[in-house]
Amino acid sequence: MSLFDQVPTVPLDGTFALMEACRVDAHELKVNLTPGIYRDENAKTWVLPSVKQARAALLADQSLNHDISPQLGYPQLLSAARQLVFKDTLDGRFITSMQTISGTGANHFIASLLSSHLRPRTVWVPNPTWDNHREIWRHVDPGIEQRNYPYYDHETCGIDGDALLSTLKEQANTGDAIILHACAHNPTGVDPSPELWEGIAQMCEEKGIFPIFDLAYQGFATGDADNDASAVRHFTTRSSSGNSSTLEFAVAQSFSKNFGLYSERVGALHVVARTRDGAARVEGMLKRISRAEITSTPAFGARIVAAVLHDPVLKAQWRQDLRTMNGRLGDMRKRLYDGLTRRNTPGSWGHILTDIGMFSMTGLSPEKVAVLKDRFHVYLLPNGRLSVTGLTEGNVEYVAESIYQVVKH
């Protein structure tokens, strides 16, 4: 008998289980539309030209060593990361930034900080959202209630903004936290309008709700990193009753998607505070959390990102890389839409053209998703989310035909 016999059996993570099932699927026409990983036209993970150049320069540097990183992380990464998110909007604001293990680590750090010191009774999560948001908060503090706020309207394939705001107004309490997708919402691909962002910001300020931006897809929403940071910058600079913004909030930033550094796990957490003393206290506590969990952040991926963002030539190439990825996703959206509508596929498909980022909701039930997988070897998440990144010129017609065959009955 083992001491661990009392440990509950935990099922495999759904996304990773589907990815493994697809990996071992021997069918020649299989298509994996589950992961949020950018693929090129050959369905291979793409190494960005800007990243390739920066990596080559680093590997050629004979002075490169493997010394421990500063406790807050690689300084050149943090300065570039702040600039990428906030640009010139931080005048008069106090901010603490720390390198993290990608966006997941940033989300975990802020959940740990808030649960230990601000002690929110509730964290509000969009319905639907990235599954790991719930898992992170459940792991950090199962005593914090997780509640959904209305987000996606399956009838209109858009955002139910009125329900979103009214729910927060009527049910949220001072001190609650709220998770917001800064751009390219996962899993819907639908983002708030500027007017709705203003309504959310006003609601957070009036109700004393602490916003947490998950910025996992900067550059994937519009192909422009500045455009995709507009919601965060609005929260930083908005004025209330003629005064400068007093909103305190956090940003969990990831470089996995927009740099293609999925295995390097490069990210940052930024916490915007109202006072200098508050920011200093946040820094001290984040250092304590980091010391207990990872002690020191990985350096190589951070050096790659910093090299690209601090070099004007490489940065210009990176912005072109973003446009290349965004353009291919847009082309695949158009081809899938054309394939579905040409077949008169039952359902609403126009949103595929207007959704942004990596994902769209197909509206398929879990049962139809299962048929799609078992009969046609096309893999989606059970909620019907389709990752556009897995589409290519060689498989998009097959995917359209497969969806048509599943939903026509």
Task: Give phi and psi for 37, each to the nearest 5.
Answer: -125, 125
Distance CA 279, CA 248 (A): 10
Which entry of 46, 124, 130, 318 is annotated as an active-site residue? 130
Annotated catalytic residue 130: yes
Annotated catalytic residue 349: no
Distance CA 183, CA 31 (A): 26
Cα separations in angstroms, 82 against 151, 253, 271: 28, 10, 11
Annotated catalytic residue 408: no
Distance CA 113, CA 212 (A): 12
Cα–Cα–Cα angle for 342, 187, 252, rounded to 5 degrees: 145
Give the number of other Cβ atoms within 10 Å of residue 335's Cβ.
18
Token pair recorded at residue 145: 């209630």
Distance CA 116, CA 109 (A): 11
Task: Give phi and psi for 119, each to the nearest 5.
Answer: 50, 60
Give the number of other Cβ atoms within 10 Å of residue 381's Cβ.
21
Which entry of 46, 197, 228, 257 is annotated as an active-site residue? 257
Q: How far is CA 370 from the centre of its chain?
A: 26
Q: Are 69 and 99 in contact (CB under 8 A)?
A: yes
Residues tagged active-site: 130, 214, 257
